[in-house]
Chains A and B, each alone.
Chain A
Amino acid sequence: MARRTLIQAINEALRQEMRRDDRIVLLGEDVGRVGGVFRATEGLQQEFGPDRVIDTPLAESAIIGAALGMAVYGLIPVPEIQFDGFLPPAFDHIISHVARIRNRSRGRFTAPMVIRVPHGGGIRALEHHSEAPETFYTHIPGIKVVIPATAYDAKGLLISAIRDPDPVIFFEPKRIYRAFREEVPEEPYTVPLGKARVAREGNDVTLIAWGAMVHVALAAAEKAAAEHGWSCEVLDLRTLSPLDIDAIIASVQKTGRCVVVHEAPRQSGFGGEIAALIGERALLYLEAPVVRVTGFDTAMPYFTLEDYYLPSPERVLKGIAQVMNF
C-alpha cells in the first residue's frame, strides 16, 4: 500500500496497464513531453516513447476521430481531452461513430477506448475549464460514463475502463486531483464498472452523488448527523452509464428519502433521470419527493462566483431538511 492522490492513482493505472498491454497508446494535447497540464501522464512518454504517448496537434475532433481509427485497427487508445469545456468539438465523433461503430458494423468493428476528461469546477479556473457535461454523454447509447471520487476507485475504475470492450468516457474530478491522499494498493486491481459504492451508511435519507460532489455529500451527512441527528446514506455512483439501479433502489427502499447532488445545471440533468427511476420503481417506499441539489440553470460563472454556483454542504443540508420535513 502507498498513500496516493487521485491523480497519482490515475498515473499509476495508466503506467501499469501500458506495461501489461502494448496495444495501449495515449494521445492528446500536451500529454507527452510535459506529462499533461495536470501531470496525469507524467513520466509516461519517458518510459513508453513518443509512439505510445503521443503529443497531437491541437484538435479535439481529430484526437477522438483518429482514436476511433486506431481502436478499430486493433489498438486501445486512451485519448485525453485537456478540459471538460473542450469536449464539444469531439462530440460528433463520440455520438456519431465511437458509440455506434459496434452496432453499425454488427460487431465487426469495435471501439475499445477510454476518453479521459478532467471534470468540474472548484479550481478557480478560466471559462470552459470548469464544466460538468456528463449528462450529455449518459444520453448516448453505446458508451459508458465513469467518474471516480476516490484515489482507490480512480485506479481500479480506470483499469477496468481500459480493459472494457466498449468505449468509456472517464471523467476525473479535477477539484480533488490532489485534495487528499489515501491508501492505494501498488499492484494493479479493478473496480467493476456499473457498480455504485456506499460511501457512508445511513437510514433516514439517501444522498446520491458522483465525482467531487461525493465529498460535499459526505460533509453534508456529517452536518446532518451532528446538527439534527439525521442518518444519511451516501451513495457514490462511480458509473453513470450503465447505472447501478439496484444499489439506488435498495438504498431508497431502506431510507424512503433521496437527495441527488450534482454540479451540472438542474434542467434535464442526470438528477432528473435518477428521480424518474426512483419514481418508477420505488414510489411507494418514498416518504417525500426526490429533491435535487444541483448547479443553477446558468452558465458556469467565472471563478469569483463559482462557490455560489457549486452545491455546498450547507445547500445539500437544506435539501436533506426538505425531504426530512416533508
Chain B
Amino acid sequence: MAQTRGKRTRTASRRVEGWIKPVEPEFETIQILRDDGSYDEASLPDLTDDQMKELYEWMVFARILDQRALNMQRQGRMGTYPPVGGQEAAQVGSAYALEKEDWLFPSYRESAAMMVHGMPPELTFLYWMGREEGAAAPEGVNVFTISIPIATQVPHAVGAAWAARLRGEKKAFLVYFGDGGTSEGDFHEGANFAGVFKAPVVLFCQNNHYAISVPLERQTASRTIAQKAVAYGFPGVRVDGNDVLAVYAVTREAVERARRGEGPTLIEAVTYRYGPHTTADDPTRYRTADEVKEWQERRDPIMRFRRFLESRGLWSEAQEEELQERLRERAAEVVRKAENYPKPEPTNMFDYMYAELPWNLKEQREALLQELAERGEAR
C-alpha cells in the first residue's frame, strides 16, 4: 500500500492538492409578487381576474378551515391535527396548476391542496376526526390517500406516474413532501426512479424550515433543496412559497413538462408554518416568537396577495367582508357535515382488509359482534 501511495504522489508531484473544488450551485428564488405585493406586469402568469380571485378565495377558505380544525381539536371534537397556516400559497398555487385528470399525492399537511383538487373538505375533517371514511377521495377525484410515514408517497406517485405513461396517458402526478422528507431514503429512491424512467411527476417540497423541531440546517448540508434535482438528472427550481402566483407559474410549467413527456421536476417552495407541527407539538421550544412574527407580519401569503388584488382594483374591503362571511358559513357547513356523518359500524375494521374475508377475520368479526350484543350495542 505504502509503495503505491508513494508512486501516486510522485506522479502528481506538481499538483498535490486542489483537485477537489467546492460545488456551489446557485438557485435563485423565483418571485413574482414582492413581499409588499408589488410586481412587474410582464411576469404575471396567464390567469383571468376571476381565476386570481379564485386563488385568493381558496387561500382564505383554507385558513378559515384550519382555524376551525384547531378550535375543534382544543374542544375535543377532533384528533391530532397538522395545521396548514402560513403555507396556503404553496398549496393552493401548486394544486391550482393541475387539471382535473391529473393526480395529487399528499402527505399529511396538504388539506388545502387536496381541497383545491376536489377533495371535499368535510372528508378531510372526518379523517382527522379519526375516521377511515375520510381518507379516500370520492370516485372521480384524483387525490390519493394521505401518507403519514414520511416521503413514502414519493415512490407511490412515481409508480403511478410511470404506469400512466406505460398506458399512454398524458397526465401529471404532483406529489407533496416537506424539507424533512428529503432526508428519507424514499425521497432519494423515488426521485432516482423518476429520473431514470422519465416519469411524469412533479416533486413538490414545501420547505417550511422545520421537521417538527429540527431546523433545515440539521436536515441537509445542501444550500437549497432544489439543487438536489441536479444529481437526479432533471430540473430543480426554487420558488417563493408564499407567493401564490410564482408557485402557480412554476408548478404549471412543471406539470406541462410532465404531460409533454419531458420528465420530472423538483420544486422547492420556501415557506413557513405558523403553527405547531401538529396540535400535539409546542413550537415555542424550538423557535422564537420574533421569527414567527417576521413571517406572519412581513411575508404572509394571503395579505400579500390581497394587496396585489387591491392594487389591480380587483378587491375591496366590502368584498372582503362578504367573502369572510360567506366562507365562514361554508366552513360551518363543512363542520356540520363532518360531525353528522353516520357513525361507523365497529365491524368496519374487518370489511376492507381483503377482497374476501379469511376465516380468522370472520371469527374475530363474529366475536366482536357477540361482544357488542352483550354490551347492548348491537345494531
Interface of A toward B, CB cutoff 8 Å: 25, 51-52, 56-57, 59, 61-62, 64-75, 77, 89, 92-93, 96-97, 101-110, 141-142, 144, 164-166, 194, 241-243, 245
Contact = CB atoms under 8 A, between A and B. Distances in A.
A164 B166 CA distance: 22
A96 B156 contact: no
Contacts, number: 130
Contacts of A105: 135-136, 145, 352
A245 B359 contact: yes
Nearest to B175: A69
Contact of A73 (B164, B193, B196): B164
Nearest to B185: A61
Contact of A65 (B144, B152, B361): B152
Interface in B148-163: 149, 152, 154-163
A158 B242 CA distance: 52
Nearest to A144: B354
B35 interface: no
B310 interface: no
B99 interface: no
Interface residues of B, number: 40
Closest 8 CB pairs of A and B: A69-B159, A65-B155, A66-B159, A62-B189, A242-B358, A69-B160, A105-B136, A165-B355
Given A59-B193, A104-B135, A109-B144, A69 B353 contact: no
A159 to B, nearest CB: 17
B163 A73 contact: yes
Nearest to A277: B360
B28 interface: no
Nearest to A51: B166
B346 to A, nearest CB: 14
Interface string B257-280: 000000000000000000000000
Contact of B161 (A65, A69, A74): A69
Contact of A62 (B135, B158, B167): B158
Nearest to A54: B197
Given A59-B189, A59-B193, A66 B353 contact: no
Given A102-B353, A165-B355, A57 B196 contact: yes
Contacts of B361: 141
B193 A67 contact: no
A179 B154 CA distance: 41
A99 B354 CA distance: 9
A116 B354 CA distance: 19
